[in-house]
Structure 1
Amino acid sequence: MPGALVLGLSGLIVAAQSGLFTGALEDEAREYAFVVWGIAGVAIVIGAAIIILNIMKKRRHRR
């Protein structure tokens, strides 16, 4: 699942470079960028959650 983290982070970088956070986008482009940014954020959260759960699972089996 690290691929989801990389994909999500790259999506956030693209959103930042496109002017999403500076208000330099047109309304329609801004809406599209927010959707892409939201999907990237979800991918990051899911990827991090899976990694954390796998670490917890491995620690539980060692005991």
Structure 2
Amino acid sequence: MIVCLCNALTDRQLEQAVAQGARRPREVYAACDCKAQCGTCTRMVLGMIRDAVLQPAAGEATMAAG
């Protein structure tokens, strides 16, 4: 699905950039060889980053409890 209309970036491209270590929106855009234009998608990008950061923490809590 296209998330960034200005740069025609898909959710998969953005998720891949985050999976490769991008932790700020500008890092995500840079990994996709572009820059934010209108900024409408920035909120979605931030959500992807937060999810990526929180998922490993949730997994660690589960392993510690088990």
- Shorter-chain TM-score tier: 0.3 to 0.5
> 1 or 2, which has the higher strand percentage?
2
Q: With the length of structure 2 as denominator, give the TM-score of the two structures.
A: 0.46
Q: In terms of Rg, which structure is larger?
A: 1
- TM-score, with normalisation over the residues of structure 1? 0.47
Larger helix proportion of the pair: 1
User: Whose RCO is larger (CA < 8 A, sep 6+)?
Assistant: 1
